[in-house]
């Protein structure tokens, strides 16, 4: 960690989310890419930032970074070069891209309601449970005050 | 005659094709896509900031009239007596903000403080790329994800607001940013859900497709705007309310409530950075209005078929100006809400109403053809009016005692 400020870390993480969305767009997955931006850059990042602000002081500490950035940079460059060489050498790049399927809202909805109905239901249950938990925590706080 | 009208209607498209065909022989091939993009972007960058500049003057004059004042009427052409009814004001304002000192607080986080206005303006400008301004006039037509693109890009402005508020190291800025984010996150849900009805009915996320879905004609003259259905009318009202909150307009302008927290998240910005915040806010409002027009008010379509000779982009701009004037009127009329009222309104009123509206839209779609129109209207009206009354008045009177938290 070369960034000592938690908020800077969070902002860099958001940049990574946006980069991931760009990767999806490169793969012709428009829907997933834009949903990634909507959910991660729009909502999850706000959640992270709020969590940081509400739980700890955001004043940057004066103590120096424990690791010099050069070690990290050299490791990152090395890893990138290895991966780039491996990708360039592999036959994946020469494969022809599959024709992009027509993804309409209708097909998406039908897939969600037939093939992927179980994950959808599980997600719904999980989110409802999380929301109920949040409400209960908030309610207890209020009773304690009175 | 019809061909002449057609030519006026398609004038920007024809001009672009003409320029591109002439450039094709002269410029190298890799420049052409860039040139095409630049030609599409230029009108947006020319028209909407100019509209913003004019809106600032009109808004000040309009608010002045509403409050029994005169408003700015002095600045015209310099060194002459021509006053232009004060419409030179925006040029003076622009020059002023350009030559003003840019003050950055010593404790501020310099990098984030500098990046925040840029990170706010760029997504706002990006949202314009999918709006259809006229027939065949959409800079970036995304047939599968147009609306999603708009919301995805629009959602990333929240983070810029946080960046501005946090990096200023000012409690008012941070308070303003917290308020703004809480408000934007809450009102984004009714905004998206009210647009979802349109997606359900049109069966597409493409904004051009949504406009074309409204092109059918009733009774030989009336275009089938989504506004002219029960779910469309209610959806438009909900959309407009949520859009006002997203754009931080009165009555939802708590994030910059100047009597409580100075100017909210951009308290510590001065000079042209402040102007950029101002610009981004208004451009965001225009983009929201443009989306509302596309979704509910028939986009570039005229209300009546016989008015079709007026160019399509004139209709879009006309509707946009009408909505802007509506927002100015609202700003002059309505008082500001309190934060808890604001949140309560979003979660207890707007959200249930949008959910009910989804059901009404589904019923409207299912009963198409078999059931007479009047019955469909009656059912839609009852299904929407009863919850409206219950949520707005009934529950409040019956189950909650009104408490005056700060007035006692």
Neighbouring CB atoms inside 10 A of A31's CB total: 16
With beta carbons under 8 A apart, name residues in chain B contacting A50: 181
- Domain presence at residue B115: yes
How far does A107 lie from chain B, in Å, by closest CA?
Answer: 10
In a domain, residue B205? The reply is yes
B83 and B154 inside one domain: no
- Whether residue B108 lies inside any domain: the answer is yes
Low-confidence residues of chain B: pLDDT under 70: 1-2, 220, 255, 257-263, 394-408
List pLDDT tens digits, range B116-147: 888 889 999 989 888 888 887 888 887 778 88
Residue B366 lies in a domain: no
CB–CB contact B158 A8 (8 Å)? no
Pull the structure tokens for residue B24.
Answer: 């094709």
pLDDT of the residue at A141? 59
Among A7, A38, A49, the residue with its CB nearest the CB of B155 is A38
DSSP letter (8 states) at residue A57:
-
Domain shared by B65 and B116, yes or no = no
Report yes or no: A52 at the B interface, CB cutoff 8 Å.
no
Sole residue written with tokens 């198409």? B368
Q: Quick one: pLDDT at residue A3?
A: 64
- Nearest one of A10, A12, A2 to A53, comparing CA atoms: A10
Q: Is B163 on the interface with A (CB under 8 A)?
A: yes
Quick: pLDDT tens for B69-86: 887 877 777 777 777 777
Q: Are residues B137 and B190 in the same domain?
A: yes
A50 touches chain B (CB under 8 A): yes
Q: Does B237 contact chain A (CB < 8 Å)?
A: no
Q: By the CB < 8 Å criterion, does A11 face chain B?
A: yes
Where does a domain end: B42, B70, B99?
Answer: B99
Is residue B212 one of the residues assigned to a domain? yes
Do B212 and B257 lie in one domain? The reply is: yes
**Cβ–Cβ below 8 Å for B142 and A30:** yes
Q: Which of residues 93-112 of B touch A (CB under 8 A)?
A: 109, 112
- Residues B81 and B112 grouped into a single domain: no
Three-state SS string over chain B comes to: CHHHHHHHHCHHHHHHHHHHHHHHHHCCCCHHHHHHHHHHHHHHHHHHHHHHHHHHHHHHHHHHHHCCCCCCCCCCCCCCCCCHHHCCHHHHHHHHHHHCCCCCCCCCCHHHHHHHHHHHHHHHHHHHHHCCCECCECCCCCCCCHHHHHHHHHHCHHHHHHHHHHHCCCHHHHHHHHHHHHHHHHHHHHHHHHHHHHHHHHCCCCHHHHHHHCCCEECCCEECCHHHCHHHHHHHHHHHHHHHHHCCCCCCCHHHCHHHHCCHHHCCCCHHHHHHHHHHHHHHHHHHHHHHHHHHCCCCCCCEHHHCCCCHHHHHHHHHHHHHHHHHHHHHHCCCCCHHHHHHHHHHHHHHHHHHHHHHHHHHHHCCCCCCHHHHHHHHHHHHHHHHHHHHHHHHHHHCCCCCCCCC
Nearest Cβ partner of A105 from B149, B188, B204?
B204
Q: Does B145 reach chain A within 8 Å, measured CB to CB?
A: yes
- C-alpha B93/C-alpha B206 separation (Å) is 38
Residue B256: which of B154, B179, B186, B345 has the closest Cα?
B179
ipTM for the predicted complex = 0.76
Let me know whether B205 and B164 are in one domain. Answer: yes
**Residue A53 contacts B where some CB pair is shorter than 8 Å:** yes
Query: Do the Cβ atoms of B145 and A30 come within 8 Å?
Result: yes
Same domain, B242 and B134: yes
Domain end position, chosen among B99, B117, B139: B99
CA distance B158 to A80: 32
Shared-domain flag, residues B10 and B132 = no
Q: What's the first-to-final CA gap in chain A, in angstroms? A: 43
CA distance A141 to B372: 53
CB B205 within 8 A of CB A105: yes
Q: Does B333 touch chain A (CB under 8 A)?
A: no
Q: What is the pLDDT of residues A41-68, one digit of tens each?
A: 888 888 888 888 777 665 555 555 566 7
Domain count, chain B: 2
* Whether A104 contacts chain B with CB within 8 A: yes
For A122-137, the pLDDT digits (tens) are: 999 999 999 898 888 8
| Alpha-carbon distance A82 to nearest alpha carbon in chain B (angstroms) | 31
Please provide the DSSP assignment of A1-19 as one string: -----HHHHHHHHHHHHHH
Q: Is the pLDDT of residue A146 over 60?
A: no
Using only the alpha carbons of chain A, give its radius of gyration: 22
Residues B195 and B287 in one domain: yes
The answer to whether the Cβ–Cβ distance between A105 and B162 falls below 8 Å is: no
Nearest to B246, CA basis, from B293, B189, B198, B299: B189
* Beta-carbon count within 10 A of B158 CB: 26
Same domain, B157 and B206: yes
**Which among B144, B149, B156 has the least Cβ separation from residue A104?**
B144
Domain membership of residue B19 as a residue range: 1-99
CA-based R_g, chain B, Å: 23
pLDDT score, position A78: 94
Q: Which residue of B has its CA nearest to A105?
A: B204
Tokens describing residue B84: 């232009």
The residue out of B64, B99, B134 marking a domain boundary is: B99
In this structure, is residue B145 part of a structural domain?
yes
Distances (CA, A) of A36 to A133, B142, B184, B333: 25, 17, 18, 39
Residue pair B109/B169 in contact (Cβ under 8 Å)? The answer is yes
Residues of A in contact with B110 (CB under 8 A): none
Q: Which helix (H) or strand (E) holds A79?
A: helix A69-89
- A41 to B188: CB separation less than 8 angstroms, yes or no: no
Whether B142 has its CB under 8 Å from any CB of chain A: the answer is: yes
- Residue among B112, B144, B148 whose CB faces A38 most closely: B148
Compute the distance between CA of residue B142 and CA of residue B166 in angstroms, rounded to an integer. Answer: 35
**A69-113 per-position pLDDT tens digit:** 788 889 989 999 998 888 888 776 666 666 666 667 778 888 888
In a domain, B95, yes or no: yes
Cβ–Cβ below 8 Å for B204 and A38: no
- Could you tell me which of B281, B274, B162, B121 has the C-alpha nearest to residue A11? B162
What's the pLDDT score for residue B322? 92
Instruction: Tell me how far apart the alpha carbons of residues A142 and B138 are, in angstroms, rounded to a whole number.
Output: 51
Q: What is the pLDDT of residue B401?
A: 64
CA B137 to chain centroid = 19
Q: Do residues B76 and B207 share a domain? A: no
Cβ within 8 Å, pair B159-A50: no
Tokens of B325: 């004037």
Residue of chain A whose Cα is closest to the Cα of B155: A42
Q: Has residue B356 been placed in a domain?
A: no
Q: Which two tokens stand for residue B151?
A: 């919301």
- Report the run of H or E that residue A53 belongs to, with start and end: helix A45-55
Contact state of B199 with A105 under an 8 Å Cβ cutoff: yes
Give yes or no: residues B118 and B92 share one domain: no
| Spatial distance between the Cα atoms of B284 and B55, rounded to a whole number of angstroms | 13
Q: Is A31 an interface residue toward B (CB < 8 Å)? A: yes
Interface test with B, best of A39, A105, A106, A127 (most B CBs within 10 A): A105
Q: How far, in Å, CA of B143 to CA of B242, rounded?
A: 25
């Amino acid at each position: 960690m070369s960034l000592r400020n938690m908020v800077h870390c969070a902002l860099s993480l958001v940049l990574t989310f946006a980069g991931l969305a760009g990767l999806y767009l490169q793969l012709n997955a428009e829907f997933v890419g834009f949903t990634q931006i909507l959910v991660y850059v729009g909502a999850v990042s706000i959640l992270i930032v709020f969590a940081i602000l509400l739980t700890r002081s955001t004043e940057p500490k004066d103590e120096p970074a424990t690791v010099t950035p050069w070690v990290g940079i050299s490791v990152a460059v090395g890893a990138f070069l290895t991966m780039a060489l491996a990708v360039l050498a592999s036959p994946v790049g020469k494969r022809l891209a599959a024709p992009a399927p027509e993804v309409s809202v209708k097909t998406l909805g039908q897939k969600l309601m037939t093939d992927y109905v179980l994950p959808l239901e599980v997600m719904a249950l999980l989110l409802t449970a999380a929301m109920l938990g949040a409400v209960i925590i908030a309610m207890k706080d209020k009773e304690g005050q009175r | 005659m019809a061909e002449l009208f057609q030519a006026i209607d398609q004038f920007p498209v024809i001009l672009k094709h003409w320029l591109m065909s002439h450039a094709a022989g002269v410029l190298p091939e890799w420049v052409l896509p860039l040139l095409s993009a630049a030609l599409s972007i230029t009108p947006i960058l020319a028209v909407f900031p100019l509209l913003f500049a004019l809106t600032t003057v009109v808004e000040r004059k309009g608010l002045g009239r509403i409050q029994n004042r005169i408003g700015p009427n002095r600045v015209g052409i310099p060194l002459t007596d021509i006053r232009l009814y004060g419409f030179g004001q925006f040029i003076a304002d622009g020059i002023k903000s350009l030559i003003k000192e840019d003050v950055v607080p010593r404790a501020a986080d310099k990098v984030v403080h500098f990046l925040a206005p840029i990170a706010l303006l760029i997504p706002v400008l990006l949202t314009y790329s999918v709006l259809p301004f006229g027939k065949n006039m959409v800079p970036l037509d995304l047939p599968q994800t147009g609306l999603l693109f708009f919301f995805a890009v629009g959602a990333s402005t929240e983070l810029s607001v946080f960046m501005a508020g946090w990096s200023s190291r000012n409690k008012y800025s941070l308070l303003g940013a917290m308020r703004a984010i809480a408000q934007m996150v809450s009102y984004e849900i009714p905004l998206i859900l009210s647009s979802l009805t349109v997606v359900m009915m049109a069966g597409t996320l493409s904004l051009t497709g949504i406009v074309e879905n409204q092109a059918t004609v009733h009774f030989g003259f009336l275009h089938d705007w989504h506004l002219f259905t029960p779910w469309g009318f209610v959806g438009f009202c909900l959309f407009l309310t949520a859009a006002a909150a997203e754009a931080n307009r009165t009555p939802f302008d708590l994030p910059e409530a100047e009597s409580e927290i100075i100017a909210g998240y951009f308290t510590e910005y001065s000079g042209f950075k402040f102007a950029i915040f101002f610009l981004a806010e208004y451009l965001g409002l225009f983009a929201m209005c443009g989306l509302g027009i596309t979704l509910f008010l028939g986009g570039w379509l005229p209300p009546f078929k016989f008015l079709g000779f007026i160019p399509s982009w004139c209709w879009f701009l006309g509707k946009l100006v009408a909505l802007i004037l509506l927002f100015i009127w609202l700003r002059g009329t309505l008082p500001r809400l309190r934060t808890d009222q604001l949140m309560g309104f979003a979660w207890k009123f707007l959200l249930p109403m949008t959910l009910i509206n989804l059901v009404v839209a589904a019923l409207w779609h299912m009963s198409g053809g078999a059931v007479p129109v009047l019955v469909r209207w009656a059912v839609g009206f009852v299904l929407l009016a009863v919850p409206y009354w219950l949520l707005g008045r009934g529950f409040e009177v019956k189950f909650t005692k009104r408490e005056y938290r700060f007035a006692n």
